[in-house]
Amino acid sequence: MPVSIRLQTPKVVSRERSTLQSALLAVLLLPIAGCAAVQPPDWQTLQPVSDFGHLIQDVYGDLFWWTAGIFVVVELLLLYALLRYRSGRSESEVPEQVHGFTALEIGWTLLPAAILFFIAIPTVRTIFQLQGAPPDPDPLEITVIGHQWWWEFQYPELGIVTANELHIPVGRTASLTLTSADVIHSFWVPQIGGKRDLNPGSENKLWFTPTEVGVYHGQCAELCGTSHANMRMRVFVDDSATFAEWSAAMREPATPDSAGMMAFLVSGCAACHAIAGTPAQGRIGPDLSTVGRRTTLASSMIPNTPETMAAWLRSPDSVKPGALMPDLNLDEQRIADLVAFLEGLR
C-alpha cells in the first residue's frame, strides 16, 4: 500500500507525512496494544462465575467481535483515505466533484442494518432468558435491602438476617428480591453478572446460579450519597456442606454474654441494632446476631478484627465518611468491652 501511494503522489512532503502516518497508526494501535499488554484480561466482568454471568458473556463476546471488526475496518478506511488522497498539488487544482453515489449509500445503510440483525437476535433471546422464571423451580429465596451505606440480606426460609456478606450454595439458583430502605441503590457483583437496581417502594427480581466456589467482590453501582464508594459487599459461594454448616450456625447463634449485653444496651446500640433472642431489636443498622462470624466490617471496607472493630466504635465517620452510625463518645474501657462482646457473637 505505501508503494502505491508514492506512485500516485510523488510530490508529497515525506517527513510530514510519515509523522502523520505513524501517529495515526499509533492511535489506531493504542487500544490493541492496550489489550495485548493485559492479555489475557482477568477483568472481573469477563470472569463470570454464574449462569447469569455466562449468558451475558456470550452476548458480550458476539458484540465485542462485531464492534472490533467494524472498528478496524472503518478506521482503516479513514486512515487509507487520508493517506491516499493527501494533496501534494497546488491549491487551485480541483479533484473530480463527486456528489454521491446512491447505490453505495443504500449499500452502507443496509449493511449496518444486517449486522444489527445479528446483534439483535442473541440480545432479545437473552433479555427474555434473564428476566424469565429462574431455571430452578425451588430457588433459594433471598431478600436484599439497600441502606445508606450497607446491605441487608434476609433468608426468609432459613430465618437468617445478616449484612454485607452474602452466603449462597454453589449450584443452587438464588432468587433475589431487591428493594431499598432509603434511596436507589444497585446490586452489582461483577463476576456473578449484571446490575439490578434496589428501588425504594418497589421490588425487583434477580436470579443466578453460582457455578464456582469462591469469594466475590460486589458494590453499589448507583450513586446513593456520601459513602456510595464504600457500600461494598462480599459474596461467598460455598459448597453445599459449608453452606449448610454456615446456615445452621447462623440459626443457632451463641448466647450473648450478659455483662457485654448490658454494655451494649447501656451504650444505646440497641436503638439501631438487633441481636436475636435479646431485647436489642433495632432495625435501622445491620443485624449483629452473628457479627463475630463476618470477615469484614463497615460494609466490607475493613477486615473484622478487634482493632478495626474498636476503631469503628471510636469514630464510625472516620472509617466510613457520612456513616449514619453516630460517634457515641465511648470511653476506651467501654469500647474494649463492646469489642469483646461483639466479636463473641458468632
Partner 1 sequence: MSAQATTAAGTHASLYGGGLRSWLTTVDHKRIGVLYGVSALLYFVLGGVEALIIRLQLASPTADVVGADTFNQMFTMHGTTMVFLVLMPLSAALFNYMIPLMIGARDVAFPRLNAFSFWTFLFGSVLLNLSFFVGSPPDAGWFGYANLTSRQYNPGMGIDFWLLSVQIMGIASIASAVNFTVTILNMRAPGMSLMRMPLFVWMALVVQVLMLLAFPPITVAFVYLLFDRFFGTHFYIPSAGGTPILWQHLFWIFGHPEVYILILPSFGVVSEILPTFSRKPLFGAPFMIFSGILIGFLGFGVWSHHMFTTGLGAVADTAFSLATMLIAIPTGVKIFNWIATLWGGHIHFKTPLYFAVGMVALFIIGGLSGIMHASPPVDIQQHDSYFVVAHLHYVFFGGTVFGLFAGIYYWWPKITGRMIGEGLGKLHFWLMLIGMNLTFFPMHFLGLDGMPRRIYTYAADLGWERWNLIATVGAFVIAVSVLVFFVNAVRSLMSKEPAPADPWDAATLEWTISSPPPEYNFAVVPEVNSARPFWLHKYGPTRDISTHTRAEGTPAQPADPPARVDLPSPSAWPILAALGLSLVGGGALVGLWMVLIGAAVLVYCVYRWAFQPLERPGHPTFGPAGGE
- When the beta carbons of 6 and 205 are compared against partner 1, the nearer one is 205
Instruction: Give strand pairing partners of 200.
Output: 180
One-letter amino acid of 307 = E
Q: 228 Cβ partners below 8 Å, 6+ apart?
A: 149, 220, 222
Smaller CB separation from partner 1, 47 or 267? 47
- Least distance CB 278 / partner 1 (angstroms): 29
Chain length of the chain: 346
Q: Which is nearer to partner 1, 111 or 266 (CB)?
A: 111
Report the C-alpha gap between 193 and 167 in whole angstroms.
16
Q: 77 or 254: whose CB is closer to partner 1?
A: 77
CB of 58 to partner 1, least distance (A): 9
- Report DSSP state, residue 35: H
Instruction: Give 23 or 254: the residue with its C-beta nearer to partner 1.
Output: 23
Angstrom distance (rounded) from CA 129 to CA 171: 18
**Cα 184 from Cα 210, distance rounded (Å):** 25
Cell of 228: 456510595
Q: What is the DSSP letter of 210?
A: B
Cβ distance to partner 1 smaller for residue 71 or 248? 71
CA neighbours within 13 Å on the CB side: how many for 284?
9
Least Å distance between CB 98 and partner 1? 6
Q: Identify the H or E element spanning 219.
A: strand 214-219
Minimum distance, C-beta of residue 298 to partner 1, in the bound complex (Å): 12
Residue 128 vs 331, nearer CB to partner 1: 128
Between residues 44 and 267, which has the closer beta carbon with respect to partner 1?
44
Give the CA angle between residues 53, 225, 161 to the nearest 5°.
Answer: 60
Beta strand 296-297 pairing with 302-303: antiparallel
The least distance separating partner 1 from the CB of residue 292, rounded to whole angstroms, comes to: 23
CA distances from 231 to 83, 223, 226 (A): 51, 10, 10
Minimum distance, C-beta of residue 85 to partner 1, in the bound complex (Å):
5
- Report whether 295 contacts 304 (CB < 8 A): yes
Q: Minimal distance in Å, beta carbon 310 to partner 1?
A: 20
- Smallest separation (angstroms) from partner 1 to the CB of 107: 9
Give me 43's grid cell.
477483568
Contact 173, 139 (CB under 8 A): yes
